[in-house]
Amino acid sequence: MAEVYKLCNKFMHYEWGSLTLIPEFLDIKNDKNTVYAEMWMGTHKGAPSQISNKNLSEISGDLPFLFKLLAIDKPLSIQAHPDKKQAEEGFKREDKAMLPVNAPSRNYKDDNHKPEIFCAIEPSILMAGFREPDKIRGSFLELASALPQLNEILSPFINILKTGSLQQFFMTLFSLSKLEQEFLCSSINQIEEIKTGENISPEQWKLIKKFTSIYPYDPAILSPLYLNCMSLMPCQAVYIPAGILHAYINGFGVEVMANSDNVLRGGLTPKHVDAPQLMNILKFVPFIPEIITPQGSNGIFYYHTPCKDFQLVRMKSGKNAQAFESCGPAICLVTQGEVMIDGIAFKKGESFFIKADGSPVLFNGNYSLFAASLFSGDYNPAQEGGRAQ
């Protein structure tokens, strides 16, 4: 019979987090007005979950996935993650350079890849994947028309995009001088609205203005023009493979990823940005991640992705007990109501670990929850989890 353990998890208090979303979800007081950004559920050495006074890894071994609860009040940095080979090489290189793992300038905290799936609990907004070069060019032309004083700065991008080279376009962004960055941001700050046309939507302009107010003098304020802007409704998800530039803008949801903390940043952040390393891992092709809706029946729904390190499952109560089956260990987070397992109750906000032994676990009660577990092997998804434009 499978063993079930209640988890005690650790929080990350990054500045982009929320004062209210996680505390209210977990029903905990936040008298000190602390910002809560993430709750980690898993065995990652950066913040391992605990069972009584033991680390989860003492019971589970090292899990191949990391499960998170995310509360996004301010935009996360524009970022991408390495594939497995890139992570191994980068980690070895920085270890050889004797760069401490916790150093602010360290890119590779471990030797693992970090594909991820984010699923919204509340409506969420993100940017992900390069748009087509001609669409980016149209947006830059429209911006230059609305703000003629920026023609000199924007013309090189417009000319490069004629060639279709996203790599050269992105490299040129990083080559802007400090004076050019300041003039770009101050010009945008001076005007509240522009007459948007078919190439710049009001939503894109609002994001540009928002980024300019939070991260002045950062060329990545123009990212809504070269990345796809996407909205997720509750229970919709998006899968981000290695090498895809992305940023979560706001929202609340769960995220499952390979067990890694490797991040290479490209802007909208006060943290370390290593442009050459980011350029080395990016895929410079137009790409729109698919919005994933779960597939299943009888209260059990699967979010299919190409990653073999994990799968995300959503469960909700029905008339009868639900049988949860997993080919390996799983971590569950209750999002509504209360679930009963072998006489033990887990309420909204609580999480638990299932040490699977191959037998199904019966869930009773009135509840909904998310489960992160090993890939079941019963699905053969597309290679990248998205589509080229």
Number of neighbours of residue 28 by Cβ within 10 angstroms: 11
What is the model's pLDDT at position 267? 92
CB 65 within 8 A of CB 89: no
Round to whole Å and give the CA distance between 23 and 69.
11
Residue 385 has pLDDT above 60, yes or no: no
Q: How far apart are CA 244 and CA 110, in angstroms?
A: 19
For the chain, the average pLDDT equals: 92
Would you say the CATH fold of 295-373 matches that of 10-128+231-277? yes
Residues 141, 79, 163: CA angle, nearest 5 degrees: 35
Model confidence at 77: pLDDT above 70:
yes
Q: Which phi-psi region, left, alpha or beta, contains residue 286 (left: φ > 0; alpha: ψ -120 to 50)? A: beta
More confident residue, 358 or 298: 298
What proportion of the chain, given as a percentage, has pLDDT over 70?
96
The pLDDT of residue 274: 92
Q: CA–CA separation, 127 vs 140, rounded Å? A: 17
CATH number for region 295-373 = 2.60.120.10
Question: Domain ranges in the chain?
Answer: 10-128+231-277, 136-225, 295-373
* Measured CA distances, 81 to 199, 200, 253, 283 (Å): 29, 28, 20, 11
Q: Could you give the CA distance from residue 257 to residue 249 in angstroms, rounded to a whole number?
A: 19
Q: Is the pTM of this model over 0.85?
A: yes
Confidence of residue 216 (pLDDT cuts 50, 70, 90): confident
CATH class, domain 10-128+231-277, is mainly beta
pLDDT for 387: 57
Which of 223, 177, 185 has its CA nearest to residue 78? 223
Residue 378 is predicted with a pLDDT of 45
10-65 confidence digits (pLDDT tens): 999 999 999 999 999 999 999 999 999 999 999 999 999 999 989 999 999 999 99
Q: How confident is the model at residue 277 (pLDDT cuts 50, 70, 90)?
A: very high
In this prediction, residue 4 carries a pLDDT of: 93
